[in-house]
Structure 1
Amino acid sequence: MTTVLIVLFLLVTLAMIGVILVQRSEGGGLGVGSSQGMGSFMSGRGTANLLTRTTAVLGTAFMALALALAMLGKGQAPRGSILDAPAAPGAAAPAVPALPAAPSVPTN
């Protein structure tokens, strides 16, 4: 269940990023909402309304999924650090580097 919600959360996040980047900013920015970019399919105003509503729907879905994931994950976090966990059985211990040999002193 959690995995499905995480994948859905990721898809909503990516869609929201795309919709926000396509919107026309105050200075014109990255927006393609003009009639030149969209052809005669929609007017600039109609595109702005569609993108605004889409952003609102995606934002609501984002918040709902975030709250659902927080509620599902409540109390499941392990206490402590992952560094405190013992090594898995069968896993080889890391090799300890050998100390460098002592330099030989010439004898006269």
Structure 2
Amino acid sequence: MAHVEIVNPTTLQITATLEDALSMVKDAAAHLEDFAEEVITICDKMPEFDYTYFCFYAYDTAALFERMLGIDPKVYLSFSMNAPDSFFYSLYGGMYGLYDLACGYLAKAR
């Protein structure tokens, strides 16, 4: 699980690793019915961030992120996240691997 440091009552510092990205991908794969829309959005929007940065809250794609953290960062006024490029590349690659399945799931659900 990512390291979450409460800097003060209003601020979090999050440190994520490659393993955290892999955990998010595995969780998405195991619960695709819950995360299909997030998978698709991450794949569609992450290229705009050059694959190495991503704002989960900009696109309402934070459920997997929050699940990985085990905490809801929205209860704090601010938070920052440090993660190596491998976190973002692996997250994108894993989500891209689930992309067609997620699209198929959503098509069936409609």
Q: Find the structure with the greater CA-based Rg.
A: 1
- TM-score scaled by length of structure 1: 0.28
Q: Which has the higher contact order (CA 8 A, sep 6+)?
A: 2
The structure richer in strand per residue is 2
